[in-house]
Amino acid sequence: MPAVLGFEGSANKIGVGVVRDGKVLANPRRTYVTAPGTGFLPGDTARHHRAVILDLLQEALTEAGLTSQDIDCIAYTKGPGMGAPLASVAVVARTVAQLWNKPLVGVNHCIGHIEMGRLITGAISPTVLYVSGGNTQVISYSEHRYRIFGETIDIAVGNCLDRFARVLKISNDPSPGYNIEQMAKRGKKLVELPYTVKGMDVSFSGILSFIEDVAQKMLATGECTPEDLCFSLQETVFAMLVEITERAMAHCGSKEALIVGGVGCNVRLQEMMAAMCQERGAQLFATDERFCIDNGAMIAQAGWEMFQAGHRTPLRESGITQSVALRPSFSERLLLLTPGASPKMTFCCTMSLDLLEPQLAPSMGYL
C-alpha cells in the first residue's frame, strides 16, 4: 500500500510522520521551548527546526521500518503558520522530493488537523471545534456543505492561553497550555472574567486584557491565587467555545462533535464538551496529545487524501503561505463536501467559489 511522508513545522513544534493505508507508522516530534514569560521568535524557531529535522526524518523512517524507496509521496505544511519555521521545513521537503524523485503535495495546516481527527476517531459527519494557537473555528455540515458557523473575531483561544501564561510567568515546558491545565486542577475560586460571545463568534482579547490589567494586583492582595486564575480562565473561555459549538449542532441537527487542534487535548475542555453532547444525545470525538498537537502524521494523512484526488504541487509553486487559513469567501464561509466521497472534505480556503470554473469546483480536491 502507498506510504506518505509528512513534514509539519508551522510553529514551535516540528514533526515528521509516516502514514500508510490510514495507519500511522511513525510520528516523532520535537518542541522548541523558551524561558517562562517569553514566547518564541520565528527566526529562533526556524533555527531549531533546521537543527533537528534530518534526525527526525531518519527516526520516522526507522520507526516505520521503511526506506526512501517505500515512500510514494512527500507532503509538507504550506500554511498557515509562522513564515520562517514554515520555510525551513518546506525547503527540506522540496529537497527530499527531488532527491528521491517523489511527488510533492503542499497541505493546509488546518485541514491536516481535521483529517487526522477524523482518521483517528472514526467521526463521520461531525461538527468540528478547531482550537489551536492560531485558529478558533466551529465548522459544521449543513445543506450538503461544510460551513464555518463561528470563529474568533480577534485572537485564537490558544494564543489567549499562551499570553496569559506569560503574564504569570508559567513554564513553557512542555507547553503553556498544559501547565495552565495542571494548575487549574488546584484552583478553588472562580473569578468573574469577561464573557464575550457575539452570535456565533467569540472574542478573547477582552478577557486577556482584563487579566493583564488586574492579575498582579489580585495576586498581591491575596484575592486569588495563580491556580484560581488558571481555573477561572479555562472555565470561562471553554464555556464560550461549548456554547457556540452547541448552537452549530442545534442548527444542523448534528449528533457528532469533533475537537481538533492543540487546545483540543485539554481534558477539561473535553469534559465540558462531553457533558454538552450527552445532554443533546450526541457523541463527542477527541484525540490525545499525540494527534491533537501539531504533528507530521496529520500532514501525511491530508497529503494522501490530496494525492488520491490528483493534487500535486509543482516545484515552482512549492513555497509557503502564512495566511492560508480556513476562511473562505465572506459571502459563503463554507467548506465543500466532495461529491460521491463520504465524507472527504474539499476545502475552499483562499478564494470565492464564484471565481472557479463550475466544472472544476467538484473535482479540485484541496485548494
What is the dihedral sign for C-alpha 95, 96, 97, 101?
Answer: positive
Is residue 178 marked as binding?
no
CA separation, residue 93 to residues 87, 189, 271 (Å): 10, 49, 38
Grid cell 513554564 is found at 171
What grid cell was written down for 116?
A: 487526522
Q: According to the annotation, is 227 in a ligand binding site?
A: no
Is residue 134 a known part of a binding site?
yes
Residue 79 counted as an annotated binding residue? no
Of residues 290, 258, 289, the one with CA closest to residue 274: 258
List CB contacts of 100: < 8 A, sequence separation 6 or more. Answer: 68, 71, 74
Q: Is 198 left (phi over 0), alpha (psi -120 to 50) or beta?
A: beta
Is 251 flagged in the annotation as binding?
no
| Residue 147, H or E segment | strand 145-151
Alpha-carbon distance 138 to 114, whole Å? 12
Q: Is 89 annotated as a binding residue?
A: no
Q: 32 among the known binding-site residues?
A: no
Residue 109, annotated ligand binder? yes
What are φ and ψ of residue 354, in 5° steps? -65, -20
Q: Quick one: residue 22, left, alpha or beta (phi over 0 = left, psi -120 to 50 = alpha)?
A: left
* Helices first, then strands: H and E counts in the chain: 10, 15
**Three cell numbers at 46?**
526556524
Q: If we measure between CA atoms, which residue out of 279, 248, 249, 273 comes closest to residue 261?
A: 273
Cα torsion through 305, 309, 310, 312, rounded to 10 = -40
According to the annotation, is 101 in a ligand binding site?
A: no
**Which triple of cell numbers denotes residue 324?**
492560508
Query: Which region, left, alpha or beta, applies to residue 21 given φ > 0 means left and ψ of -120 to 50 means alpha?
Result: left
Q: Is 49 annotated as a binding-site member?
A: no
Confirm whether residue 281 is marked as ligand binding: no
Write out the binding residues: 109, 113, 130-134, 162, 177, 181, 266, 294
Write out the binding residues for a divalent metal cation: 109, 113, 130, 294
Write out the binding residues for substrate: 130-134, 162, 177, 181, 266
